[in-house]
Amino acid sequence: MPELPEVETVRRGLQQRTTDFRVERVEVLRDRAVASPSDPAAFAAALEGCSLAGWQRRGKYLLGDLRRDGDTAGVWGVHLRMTGQFLWLCEQRPPCGHTRVRIWNQRNEELRFVDTRSFGQMWWVPPHIPVEQVITGLQRLGPEPFGAAFTAGYLRQRLRGSRRPIKAALLDQSLVAGVGNIYADEALFSAGIRPHTPSGRLSLARLETLREALVRVLEISIGAGGTTFSDFRDLTGTNGNYGGVALVYRRGGQPCRTCGTSIRREKLGGRSSHWCPRCQH
Ligand SMILES: [Zn+2]
């Protein structure tokens, strides 16, 4: 499943591809790909004729800034969910069976949304309406890991008295936005913290170490174009490079890169966790 680094990689690809991009035509091949408005034809009509002034990311949501004759024309929201991906096609190619939405620009280049599992969603938020009113999932999101609000003090306050394992807490999007299984495991290893540790027991100093580790791991992965583990591809169909350098994720039974101890793998809160019993306490 795409996590923050993968979504950020897609954001950068979209940003690069849509600087001179006027939506000429939108074709929705699968109605459920469009969450709002309920009529896919209305979604297509809203986007057609618009240009894109840029893309933002909030958690795992992509938000395109639509303009029509220079004025705001609302927001184009996208969530990739499990397997959603954008492809950039310079020449005409027939759609595959997993093609959900096709968007052509003024040069007949196509931005294609392909999604095998079909959980990906798009929204059009009309101008002057708060984005979170239409894309309600945004209401629950905690601070961005790179944001000024995400501090050790914030974590301490939110986790005070909690017996929930820190691994489970990190996956909670209302605590911090965009972190999933891969980067939670990697950050906990970097910080030397066992995934089972009750969140409320972590000192301010350890929470600061964890915050730094999380930011570092995410930055490294964004630099590598996202991870190789999922079906993730960027707009050019390239898979990311983080997988080759993973410290613990999906390395159960293999020697720890630091101390050589066998990496453990165990289900924790329904998700596989990977950690080193010697390096993490
Ligand atoms: Zn180790």
What six digits make up the tokens of 216? Answer: 């570092």
Output the pTM of the full model. Answer: 0.88
Q: How far apart (Å, rounded) are the C-alpha atoms in residues 100 and 57?
A: 21
Distance 107 CA to ligand 1 centre (A): 53
Distance 3 CA to ligand 1 centre (A): 25
Distance 215 CA to ligand 1 centre (A): 21
63-103 residue pLDDT tens: 999 999 989 999 999 999 989 999 999 888 899 999 999 99
Distance 61 CA to ligand 1 centre (A): 35
Query: Which domains, ranges and CATH numbers included, belong to the chain?
Result: 4-139 (3.20.190.10), 152-275 (1.10.8.50)
Q: How far apart (Å, rounded) are the C-alpha atoms in residues 175 and 184?
A: 13
Could you tell me where the beta strands, DSSP code E, fall in the chain? Answer: 25-28, 34-36, 51-58, 61-68, 71-79, 84-89, 99-104, 110-115, 121-125, 264-268, 271-275
Grouping H, G, I as helix, E, B as strand and the rest as coil, residue 275 is strand
94-152 residue pLDDT tens: 999 999 999 999 999 999 999 999 999 999 999 999 999 999 999 999 999 999 999 99
Residues annotated as catalytic are 2-3, 60, 271
